[in-house]
Amino acid sequence: MPCGQTVVITGYRGGDPLMSNETYPDPVTGIISVGALIAGLRLARRTGKGCLVDFSQREMTVGLLPAAMMDYAFNGRVQGPIGNRDAVAAPQGVYPCAGEDMWIAIAVQSDAQWQALCQVMGNQDWARDSSLGTGAGRRQRHDEIDAKLAAWTRGFDHYDLMHRLQRRGVPAGAVLKGSELLVDAQLEARGWWEDLAPPEVGKVHRFVTTPWRMSASPFRPSTPAPSLGEHNDTVYLDILGLSRAEYASLQNAGIIGTEPRWLRA
Asked if the model's pLDDT at residue 129 lies above 90, the reply is: yes
What is the bridge-based pairing of β-strands 193-196 and 92-96? unpaired
Asked if the model's pLDDT at residue 220 lies above 70, the reply is: no
Asked if the model's pLDDT at residue 3 lies above 70, the reply is: no
Separation in Å, CA 175 to CA 70, 81, 171, 179: 30, 21, 13, 12
What integer is the mean pLDDT of 22-45?
Answer: 87
Q: What is the pTM assigned to this prediction? A: 0.75
pLDDT of residue 45: 94
What integer is the mean pLDDT of 118-136?
Answer: 95
Higher pLDDT, 170 or 65: 170
Q: Which residues pair with 104 in a beta bridge?
A: 95, 174
- In order of their start, the domains of the chain are 25-63 (no CATH), 92-175 (3.30.1540.10), 232-263 (no CATH)
pLDDT of residue 173: 97
Asked if the model's pLDDT at residue 219 lies above 70, the reply is: no
Nearest-angstrom CA–CA distance, 45 and 22 = 37
The helices-and-strands tally (H runs, E runs) of the chain is 11, 5
Tell me how far the alpha carbon of residue 261 is from its chain's centroid. 33
